[in-house]
Every structure is written in C-alpha cells, then in structure tokens.
A = this chain, B = another copy of it.
Amino acid sequence: MEAFPRISRHVRHPIRAFQLSQCRPSPSSFRASFWSAKPLSTLTRTRHPQLAFRAPRYVTSQLSSHLVCRTPPGSLRFISTKELPNHRGPVARFFYRLFAWTGIFIVSCGTLVIAFFVYDASTYKETPDSVGDVPVSEAALSPRRGGPKNLPIAEILVDDEDCESMRAQKHKPKLVILGSGWGSVAMLKELNPGDFHVTLVSPDNYFLFTPMLPSATVGTLELRSLVEPVRRIVNRLRGHFLKARAVDIEFSHKLVEVAQTDANGVEQHFYLPYDKLVIGVGSTTNPHGVKGLENCHFLKTIEDARLIKNKILGNLELACLPTTSDDERRRLLSFVISGGGPTGVEFAAELYDMLNEDLLKSFPKILRNEISVHVIQSRGHILNTYDEALSVYAEKRFERDHVGVLTNSRVKEVTPDKIVFTQMEDGKPVTKELPMGFCLWSTGVAQTELSRKIADKLGDFQNNRHALETDTHLRLIGAPLGDVYAIGDCSTVQNNIAEHLTTFLRGLAFERGKDPDKIQITFQEWRDLAQKVRKRFPQASGHLKRLDRLFEEYDKDKSGTLDFGELHELLVQIDSKLTSLPATAQRANQQGQYLGRKFNKIAAAIPGFQANEVDFGDLDEAVYKAFDYHHMGSLAYIGNAAIFDFNGMNFSGGLLAVYLWRSIYFAESVSFRTRLLLAMDWSKRALFGRGEAHFSPPLLCCLQYVSDMASPTNVVTDLMSF
C-alpha cells in the first residue's frame, strides 16, 4: 500500500489522477501495483520525462493504455504497456526532444508574428481624432510688417498654441537654427525641452545621413533609409519647423530674413526674430572656376542621388540600342569621377560594385567590356587626407578592379561628351581628355550664398574666404557677442592666440602703467599665460606641453624672461602649427553637441544671474568650456573592402572590414528607424541585388515630362505617346 502515496506525489496531470482512480478499484491492477513496486516505480520514472515532452495526445493514449488495465489479465498487460517507453533507444528520445524544441521554436515565432499583427492593427485609427477648435492667435495669421525691408515679422507661429508645452515656450528666448544637417540635428538632440522657443529653418525637411549617400546612388541603400524627418526630431522639443531658405541676417534687429517660393512660383520673404541664432547652413560644391559644370552631377542631396542613378541606368539602356554606334557606346559607358576624396572614391567603389555584381547579369555582355570608370585626383594620391598606406591600398584595390586613377590631374573643362584635364608628367602639365557619359563633381566645398553675404556684412571681422570664422566658443566673430553661433562646414574656428594674448597683455601692461613693449614675462607668468591659452584654445594644448623648453627656446637673450617680441614670436609659431578643423560630419556633429550642452547650461544659469543682478559679461565663458575637437578617425568604403584611419592606427581589409565599416555607420545612424531600414536594405541587396529597375525615367525624359507640363496639348500627347 505504500506504492500509491509515492506515485501520487509525482502525479501532476489530471488524467494521471484519473488513471489511478480507474486503477485502484480493479483488484488486478491493485495486485499489480502492490506486488510490483518495482515496475511501478519504473513506470513513474520513465513517464516523467515523456510527460515533459509530449503533447496532450500522448497523455490520452496513455489513458487508453490505462483503461485496458481493468480487463483481466490486466496486470500483465498493465506492466507491459508501462515498460514500453524503456525500450525506446537514445535516438528516439533525441528526436522527441528535437521535435519538442522545433515545436517551441515555431510556436514562439508564430506568437511574435501574431503579436506584430495585433500591434499593426492598433496603428490604424478607426475614427479620425477630432482636434476640435484650434486656437491660433491673430498675430500668427496676419503678422505685422517691419524691419529694414518692411517685411512680415513672424513673431508668433501658427502652432504656438497647439499644446500646453508649446504655450509654455511661447515667451522663452527664441532660438533659431538654420539648416538641418549634422550640426543642427546633433544640437537638437542635445537640447533640453522647454528651455527655448526653438525654430528650425531649412529648405529640406529631412536630415540626410550624408556619409552613406554614395551607396544610395546605386541602390545599395534606399534613399528613405538615409533620411530622418526633421519634424520628428524637432517634435521632441515641441519646437517649430519652417521649410524655407534663410537669405539674410539683420544682426542689429536680431532678424533672419527667410524666403520660400509659394505655390504660384513667387518668392515670399519674411523675417524671423531670434534671441540666439545658430548658423549650420553647410557648404556647397566647389566649382574651382571650371567651365561646363552643368554637364556634371553633384552628390549633396537626395535628389542628386536619384538623378545620378537615373543617368547611369539611362546610359546603360541607351548602350543596348542598335542605333548606338560603337564610339557612342564606349562614351556612354565611360564614368568619370572628378575628385579623389572620400565621396568620390566611395562613389567609384559603389558604382563598380553595381556594374560588376548586378547590372551586367541582365545586360548584354558587350557592355561589360566597354565600361570604364576613372577617378581624377589633383593630388598625388586619392584619399590624400588619410594615411598614405591606406591611399596606396585603395589605389591597388582600384587597379585590380580596372578603376582608372588619374593623379596629379586638374580638370579644365567639362563638355557634354568629354572632360578635359591637365596631368603633370615629369614636371610638365600635359593636356588630355576623356570621352565621358557621366561625370560626378565631388571636389571640395565652397561657401553658400548666405555665408558669403554674412561675411561681407561683417567686413573686417571675417577674413576667411572659405568659411565663417568663429571664436573657440563657436560665436560668429563680428556679430554681437553671444547672439550668433556658426557650426559645421559653413564655419571655421579661429586660432589667433598671438593676437588674443597680446591684446590681453597690452591691457595688463596699461593697468600696471607700463609700456607693453618693455614688459618682461617671467617663467611663472608664462606658466599662467599658457594655462590661460589652454583654457581658451583647447586645440593648442598639444603644443604647450614642454613649457620650460619653449621658454628657453624663445628666450633668445637668455635673460630668464621673455620680452614682448619674443613672446609674440612664440605665440605666432604656435598659431602656425594649428590646422583648421576638417569639414566633416564628425566635426559638425561634435560642434552641435557642444552647443546643445552649452545652451542647456546657459538656460539654467540665466535666472540665477538675473536674480542676483550680476552683469555676467561673457556668459559663454562663464558657464561652459571652449570647444575642443577630438578626431575619432576616418573610414572609407572601397569596393568590397574598407579602410580605417583611427588617429594613425590604420586598418584596411576586405569583407570583414566592410562589415565593420557598416556597423560603425549603423551605430552612428540617427534613429532606431533608420537603423532597422539600413539592416533591411543590406539584406535586400544580399537577396535581390540592387534592383536596376527601380528608377523613374532618366533625366532626359524627366526634363521632357516636366517641360511638357507647361502646355496642355503637350502633356496629353506626352501621356498618350507610348
């Protein structure tokens, strides 16, 4: 009788309980269980693992096998059925488990899918949410006119009343940001909500992940995966976005002049007032005074990428037509990239990939033999900003892939069908030309119209022809202190240590009632000055390591002190060593983050200062350190290989490097959304290639189409013509 309690202790399945209640009354089974404690324990032992694995069906079959236990001579049958499982070999058991696991796997996957569908369903609004009456202040609908040009002044925007937090921001200091590039977006992501009344002005309503633009031109990536709607980014701050161009700035009135072409094609101008203005308008392509750039493509915007893709595929299609002569075919298939910087090189690489991996599968073979890709580079190496070893690696790679690299070459003119350039051959420039069906112009950057206008306005304060000069607090030099900042490609940080310090010393000298030129600086004073310099010009710290040595070196007369001239010379030397920051996304990003953090501090500090009625003078300097750029290194994709330059630590390699290259950008990407899209795109490429079809009619047809829109008859015929 002791067998039973022990069994029931391990019986957890209702049906099992039922079995036992079935078995108990039957004398035979009773006997069986009583005398054969052995087989019974066997049974319970063995059934356990199976129960763990079996679907209900098994249990019921067990049940049935139990029911027979009541038919005499049940005892024997009972034991035999029970012992059956023991005879199952390890293989059988392995498969049980395998099936169980597969089952589990499938079930869990299924659950995920269903869950997703449920979520998807929840994203559809059954009934439109009625926003009811929206309060909009009269001032927003018909703004008052004013300012130097008597334009409408947008003091209040249509969505200033849209929600509680917006209403709260209405009277906060107005922060206006121009441009939706790396700098502006980095800043927007750093700012705390509620501190400022933020307004972003940009002709593009999306942030473009520029480093990957070359991939998008050939369809490795969807354009959509590289853009993030700025409205979403601005929404975090409950800020405002205006899709328009800034055309001028009235520093004295604290007004930005903004323009946009309205539906009827008329330019509408208005003023946007600011308390703090951040200029992040980026740069534009540098024409280098070359004639015929209208025959080139550029690579700055999404639209550029689209046009490039259309052009390339259009050329390939034209090359297949029987009316295309041999020379014309060779011309159509000659792709020239002017500029051996990262953009140019990566584009060349991607282009080569597309041609080699995808297109030529489905195009006639003759194209394969007549396609040529050339990179024209003015310097001695492509990627000349990188470590030379890497440049060489890249050039080797290109050589292997039959991508022609023409170094020491300057483009002179671009005509619709050829590109004329001079190449240095043993010292003498030789003029050459390439027949060309497509030319990408990616040589350096130049100032935008707005930047030039601002520089002119500020006159002597701005002496750099390539970018707007800021101090190390990124404040635009010449503009009222603390009003206007400039970040990203449109700006450069001024390193005028000598000038800065000498003025400072002059002041000091006059305080002491001395003639500055006669001032003598001891080593102690020099140490303090150096400290000052480090704080104000972080970039210079690297050159101010061995102070004593510097002191000795410049103390020509070994007087143990530096006189004014000696000091000045020293500082000028240091200035000359400081290079201007590179015009990269990396720098813009760091500057944006820096400004964001500083503005958070400023917003926090102002009330305190005001409460204590402190005239806080140079607020920026008071609340936050000067901007210090940390170079994280550069990387480039060069056709199924990639190269990395982490501050001298170089690395180049094949596919693995490519995956690394991707993962870095993947991590840098703006949002979870874009990351997922990137992953999807890379999978798509692997599965289906780059999709040579996905493109709207080539530029020519596009021109055709659009110009046709002009006259009613044309458009109809155009639509009707097959």
Q: Residues of B contacting A686 with CB < 8 Å? A: 116, 119-120, 123
Task: Give bound CA distance, A264 to B703, whole Å.
Answer: 13
List residues 684-707 of chain A with CB under 8 A from any CB of chain B: 684-688, 691-697, 699-707
Q: Is the CB of A693 within 8 A of B49?
A: no
Q: Given that A12-B90, A229-B693 are known contacts, is A357 also in contact with B158, CB under 8 Å in the complex?
A: no
Q: Would you give the 0/1 interface string for A564-605, flagging 1 where the beta carbon is closer than 8 Å to chain B? A: 000000000000000000000000000000000000000000
Query: Which of these, B97, B157, B366, contacts A158 with CB under 8 Å?
Result: B366
**Would A320 and B222 count as touching, CB distance under 8 A?**
no
- How far is A640 from B123 in the complex, measured between Cα atoms in Å? 10
| 7 shortest interchain CB distances as A-B pairs | A229-B693, A159-B364, A206-B693, A231-B362, A154-B322, A243-B317, A303-B696
Contact A261 B704 (CB under 8 A): yes
Q: Is A715 part of the binding interface, using a Cβ–Cβ cutoff of 8 Å?
A: yes
14 further contact pairs, Cβ within 8 A, besides A270-B321, A676-B687: A9-B86, A41-B45, A45-B48, A49-B52, A101-B101, A126-B654, A134-B368, A158-B364, A242-B320, A246-B722, A263-B700, A269-B323, A303-B697, A303-B705
Closest to A244 in B: B321
Partner of A703 from the list B127, B141, B706 (CB cut-off 8 Å) is B706
Residues of B contacting A185 with CB < 8 Å? none
A281 at the interface (CB under 8 A from B): yes
- CB nearest to A122 among chain B residues: B686
Contact status B437-A235, CB under 8 Å: no
Q: Is the CB of A241 within 8 A of B357?
A: no
Minimum C-beta distance from A145 to chain B (A): 11
Query: Nearest CB to that of A225 among chain B residues?
Result: B694
Interface of chain A residues 361 through 383 with chain B (CB within 8 A): 361-366, 368-369
**Measured between C-beta atoms, what is the minimum distance from A689 to chain B in Å?**
8
Complex interface residues of chain A between 438 and 491 (CB less than 8 A to chain B):
446-450
Is A364 within 8 A of B86, CB to CB? no
- Which single member of B116, B231, B369 contacts A683 (CB below 8 Å)? B116
Q: Tell me if A76 counts as interface (CB < 8 A to partner B).
A: no
Q: Mark A113-129, 1 if CB is under 8 A from B, else 0.
A: 00011011101111111
Which chain B residues border A52 with CB–CB below 8 Å? 49, 52-53, 97
User: Does A140 belong to the interface (CB within 8 Å)?
Assistant: yes
| Contact call B229/A691, Cβ cutoff below 8 A | yes
Query: Chain B interface: which of A284-292, A515-523, A540-548?
Result: A284-292
A261–B709 touching, CB < 8 Å: no
Residues in B whose Cβ lies below 8 Å from that of A356 = 125, 128-129
Interfacial chain B residues near A158, Cβ < 8 Å: 320, 322, 364, 366
Q: Is A408 an interface residue (CB 8 A)?
A: no
Q: Across the interface, do B323 and A284 meet the contact criterion of CB distance under 8 Å? A: no
Q: Let me know if A711 and B294 touch, CB within 8 A.
A: yes
The reply to whether A123 and B357 form a contact with Cβ atoms under 8 Å apart is: yes
Chain A residues numbered 645-697 whose CB sits less than 8 Å from any CB in chain B: 654-655, 658-659, 673, 676-677, 680, 682-688, 691-697
Q: How far is it, in angstroms, between the C-alpha of A266 and the C-alpha of B230 when the chains are bound?
A: 42
Task: Note all chain B residues with C-beta closer than 8 A to A284.
Answer: 719-720
Is the CB of A173 closer than 8 A to any CB of chain B?
no
A692 with B322: CB separation less than 8 A: no
Q: Given A101-B104, A131-B365, A449-B722, check contact A231 B268 (CB 8 Å).
A: no
Q: What CA separation (Å) do A709 and B700 show in the bound complex?
A: 11
Contact of A508 with B by CB under 8 A: no
Which residues of chain B are near A331, meaning CB under 8 Å?
263
A326 within 8 A of B: yes
Residues of the B chain whose Cβ atoms lie less than 8 Å from the Cβ of A86? 9-10
* Residue with the highest number of chain B CB atoms closer than 10 Å, among A97, A294, A326: A294
* Nearest chain B residue, comparing its CB with the CB of A717: B449
Q: Which residues of A109-153 have CB atoms within 8 Å of chain B's CB atoms?
A: 116-117, 119-121, 123-129, 131, 133-134, 136, 140-143, 152
Chain A, range 191-227, C-beta contacts under 8 Å to B: 203-207, 222-224, 227
- Is A514's CB within 8 Å of the partner chain B? no
Instruction: Specify the chain B residue showing the minimal Cβ separation from A162.
Output: B365
Most chain B CB inside 10 Å of its own CB: which residue of A93, A287, A696, A703: A696
Question: How far is A246 from B127 in the complex, measured between Cα atoms in Å?
Answer: 49
In the docked arrangement, what's the CA distance between A1 and B673, Å?
A: 67
Given A6-B38, A366-B159: A446 and B720 interface contact (C-beta under 8 Å): yes
- The closest CB in chain B to the CB of A331 belongs to B263
> How far in angstroms is the closest Cβ of chain B from A237?
12
Residues on the B chain within 8 Å of A53, using CB: 52
Question: Within 8 Å of chain B (Cβ to Cβ): is A306?
Answer: yes
A-B contact pairs, 24 of them (CB 8 A): A10-B45, A41-B45, A105-B105, A119-B686, A123-B686, A127-B400, A154-B322, A157-B322, A158-B320, A159-B366, A203-B697, A203-B722, A230-B693, A231-B362, A243-B318, A260-B323, A262-B328, A268-B323, A282-B722, A285-B716, A287-B716, A294-B712, A302-B695, A450-B721
**Does A507 have its Cβ within 8 Å of any Cβ on chain B?**
no
User: Which residue, of A154, A301, A328, A693, has the highest number of chain B Cβ atoms within 10 A?
Assistant: A693
The chain B residue with its CB closest to the CB of A272 is B322
Minimum C-beta distance from A261 to chain B (A): 6
Cβ 8 A contact of A706, one of B282, B363, B706? B706
- Given the known inter-chain contacts A683-B116, A720-B284, please indicate yes or no for A124 contacting B655, CB distance below 8 A: yes
Q: Are B134 and A366 within 8 A (Cβ)?
A: yes
Given contacts A318-B263, A692-B229, contact A721 B245 (CB under 8 A): yes
Contact for A45 among B45, B306, B353, B687, CB less than 8 A? B45
8 Å CB contact of A48 from B49, B247, B302: B49
The one of B6, B133, B353 that contacts A42, using a Cβ cutoff of 8 Å: B6
